[in-house]
Structure 1
Amino acid sequence: MHRKVITYSRNVFLPLTHVCQNACGYCCFRQATGAGCVLPPDEAHRTIDTGARLGCTEALFTFGERPGEVPGFSDHLAALGYADILDYCYDLCLYAIRAGVLPHTNAGILTAAELERFREVNASMGLMLETTADVPAHRHSPGKDPAVRIEMIEEAGRLRIPFTTGLLIGIGETPADREESLEVIADLQRRYGHIQEVIIQNFCPKEGTDMGNAAPASSEEMAGTISLAREILPREVAVQIPPNLADAERLIRCGVDDLGGVSPLTIDYVNPEHPWPQIEGLKKIVGDAALRERLCIYPRFIEMGWYSDTIAPLIHRLQKEIEERSL
């Protein structure tokens, strides 16, 4: 009998800015424009270099959606020599590749041309669908329009970008909404084959936000949604939970395949009050299953050649190193 395998990626988390055009009712990541609102290049470089020395294989670039639309932000970015946050991120992707770490960018809504450009310097990319429902928490967030997000995920499929998406549980959606969201993702996968993992993430109330007093998603809701995801999604799509948020040791038995990116260096800037478990902690979470490290691009996409020439040598080197470590 084969042991179930649970995978994870070793990463560094680089929030390039917390400035965002969206104002979601549950978010504590978003901050106002001001001094220090852009991660300085030397700090980003140090983080990437240290992560590489610690064996990290993924540089997770995250930033607020379209921060240039927020008054005053462009002045702070211009002080670093950039007119657009995407240009800054692109250069940091190149730096990460030279340092031996594969970029994975979550930039919010991007156009087809922007996705195509970033495909050259990213092993994978991501955008949380969150929900197909129209919820009050998104009333001030133009980028959270479900149709807009679905369109971008579809565009990533046309471009053959290995992709991560997911649901945020407990932000005002119903069980029927969760089922609809999973069906939408499953349909996109059947048409384009580009979705490598779907995150089932539980909403955690943040003090000072509009939903700060709302009830968090329960373990029962999470368990039911994970089971539903495993039932609806094609088998090749991994179901992921964040091990620092959910009751992972309990939920792992509901159909979880992956624990996402875990960092030995950086915190979870989206949920800073929840520290990452370290590798020994992951082994406890998976119990009798086998824990296996992976890259941010899944093996089947490597086999199909779904990556650019720019990152091909690094992908193959890191894949070989991971395989040797797992022997």
Structure 2
Amino acid sequence: MDPSCPVRHRPALTGRQRSLGPSTCSRCETDSVTLLDPHRAGRRLDADAAALEAALTRAEAGEAIGVDDAEALLGADGEAHDRLLAVAARVRDEGLVAIGRPGVMTYSRKVFIPLTTLCRDRCHYCIFVDTPGQLLKQHKPTYMSREQVLAVARQGQALGCKEALLTLGDRPEDRWPEARAWLDEQGYASTLEYVGDMARAIAAETGLLPHLNPGIMTRDELDMLRPTAPSMGVMLETTSRRLYEEPGQVHFGSPDKDPDVRLRLLEDAGEARVPFTTGILVGIGETLRDRAESLVALREIQDRHGHLQEIIVQNFRAKPRTAMQDAPDADLVEYVAAVAVARLVMGSAMRIQVPPNLSDPQEFDLLVRAGADDWGGVSPLTADHVNPERPWPHLDDLARFTAEAGFSLKERLTAHPPYVNDAWLDPAIRDATYALADPDTLLARTTPDGALVRPQPVPRASEASVERSDSATRAAGVSGSTTPVVERSEAESKRLERAKRVESGAAAPFP
């Protein structure tokens, strides 16, 4: 390969990465590999060649991508797949240049805290959830205790983690008497009330920033939890009603997987001014049209509220002892195309996340070429309890893989830089967040020599000041405003102004 060639070549593909042999780079005449599934050679998935060509032409011209174009692009393979990845990478790179961090992939150093594995849903692919009987056999608690939660958080604190991911099943007390009894014994009205209490304890006693992934929440519950965490998240997964309504489909019998309910949550989170993470799940039985409609629905919500800080494109991996244990993993060609189409639909300003533990390292280059710019949360301590068979890559290895793809790896906070300001953060969580944010980049703070900064406990804002701020916010009706309604120090005002300029592209976060 000619090292001076600006084209990113990818290595020969093996295993799941099927190819039909080499093509030649027009710039340096080096053989590179055209990604193509031999079982699908010469045909399209749900999109004819003319529609695909028209969609590619519009994408390459920078035109907006609608549902029809997105569906066509999601079926790309062969040379069209290469063109799709090229335009997605270009859009991503333009966005990174605009915010002053070209060639940077981000991640969040986290601990994963599974607060409870009880759930009222019955998703056919899930291995995270237990029944009360299974908990007894495994000697696992109904809920993690405060002491257990803080023990994990303190271990993460010692390792320089900044994020505490709180993940749990949806409203287990609505299905399991054991969950209701535990909450009653501990004095909590709901699981979500306990989530908020644990999030406050984590921030106050360790300085870690909670990221809440507690399932479906009402608007009142979002308002209740907003002071406890800089960000929250729930995967949309898909807008397919077929997968929810038809017996035998993946979401049948799971009330919280109703697409309308999940879309309503995303709207409510925007109205509540909660920095939010969401995304799609690829390979659970949805069609290309379903994927296209899901991505466009997310863009429309973002256009209305601006609170979606990142979009996860996650590939399905079959789990043992589940109803989908014999289902094939998400097809790599389709998965990579979904990452690229997510980039084109959501635009250059959106962060597109791909979980690194759900792909093999030799596939990372393809994901980067498809327009991804974030690896999500990675833990040096805890397992991915949702995908326990897929360990996190070591952070040194992830940095090396990222460098091999032509990017550098930098740590961020659970709230992305455009949301690290008074306009988005509740007063009760601001001090803890700002303590870990680099004042110039709004990514994770490091020492002058680049060493990790370990979180420290941050005293909580007084209840009175938080209540006054919340009342003022409601009185001012700022659900769509970017102007904070609480008084700020000079330093806070400068931080907010810089964040606004970074978000708009008027200032570069990197000096």
Report the TM-score range of the alignment, normalised by the length of the smaller protein: over 0.9
**Which of these residues, 187, 192, 204, is aligned with residue 86 of structure 1?**
192
**Which of these residues, 134, 137, 158, is aligned with residue 271 of structure 2?**
158
Whose Rg is larger? 2
Query: Shift of residue 305 of structure 1?
Result: 2.7
Query: Secondary structure of 1:10's match?
Result: strand
Asked whether 1:292 is paired with 2:410, we answer: yes
Stretch deviating more after TM superposition (247-256 or 160-169): 247-256
Matches within 5 A, 1:215-254: 215-246=328-359, 247-254=363-370
Asked whether the equivalents of residues 226 and 254 of structure 1 are also in contact (C-alpha less than 8 Å), the reply is yes
- After superposition, the C-alpha distances for 1:125-145 in whole angstroms (9 at most, x for unaligned) are 001000001211001111000
Q: Which amino acid aligns with 2:317?
A: C
Distance 1:71 1:245 in 2: 31
Asked whether the equivalents of residues 3 and 290 of structure 1 are also in contact (C-alpha less than 8 Å), the reply is no
Query: Secondary structure of 1:167's match?
Result: strand
Distance 1:208 1:280 in 2: 33
Distance 1:3 1:157 in 2: 28
Asked whether the equivalents of residues 230 and 415 of structure 2 are also in contact (C-alpha less than 8 Å), the reply is yes
Matches within 5 A, 1:264-303: 264-286=380-402, 287=404, 288-303=406-421
> Cα 1:304–1:312, aligned 2, differ >3 Å: closer, same or farther?
closer
Query: Secondary structure of 2:356's match?
Result: coil
| RMSD, matched Cα | 1.6
Matches within 5 A, 1:23-172: 23-34=122-133, 35=136, 36-72=141-177, 73-98=179-204, 99-134=206-241, 135=243, 136-172=249-285
Query: Shift of residue 251 of structure 1?
Result: 1.5
Distance 2:422 2:353 in 1: 22
- After superposition, the C-alpha distances for 1:149-180 in whole angstroms (9 at most, x for unaligned) are 00000110011110000111100101111111
Matches within 5 A, 1:191-210: 191-210=304-323
Asked whether the equivalents of residues 199 and 240 of structure 1 are also in contact (C-alpha less than 8 Å), the reply is yes
**Which of these residues, 10, 19, 22, is aligned with residue 121 of structure 2?**
22
Asked whether the equivalents of residues 241 and 248 of structure 1 are also in contact (C-alpha less than 8 Å), the reply is no
For structure 2, list consecutive stretches of 5 or more residues without a partner in the other structure: 1-96, 244-248, 451-511
Asked whether 1:309 is paired with 2:431, we answer: no
- After superposition, the C-alpha distances for 1:88-135 in whole angstroms (9 at most, x for unaligned) are 211111111111011110111100000011111110000100000121
Query: Secondary structure of 1:320's match?
Result: coil
Q: Which amino acid aligns with 2:201?
A: Y
Query: Shift of residue 79 of structure 1?
Result: 4.0
Q: What is the identity percentage for the equivalent residue pairs of Structure 1 and Structure 2?
A: 41
Asked whether the equivalents of residues 182 and 229 of structure 1 are also in contact (C-alpha less than 8 Å), the reply is yes
Query: Shift of residue 209 of structure 1?
Result: 0.9
Distance 2:365 2:151 in 1: 33
Query: Secondary structure of 2:337's match?
Result: helix
Deviating above 4 A after TM superposition, structure 1's stretches of 4 or more consecutive aligned residues are none
Distance 2:273 2:447 in 1: 29
Q: TM-score, normalised by structure 2?
A: 0.62
Q: Which amino acid aligns with 1:311?
A: I
Asked whether 1:175 is paired with 2:281, we answer: no
Distance 2:285 2:447 in 1: 43
Asked whether the equivalents of residues 199 and 210 of structure 2 are also in contact (C-alpha less than 8 Å), the reply is yes
Stretch deviating more after TM superposition (313-322 or 237-246): 313-322
Stretch deviating more after TM superposition (86-95 or 17-26): 86-95
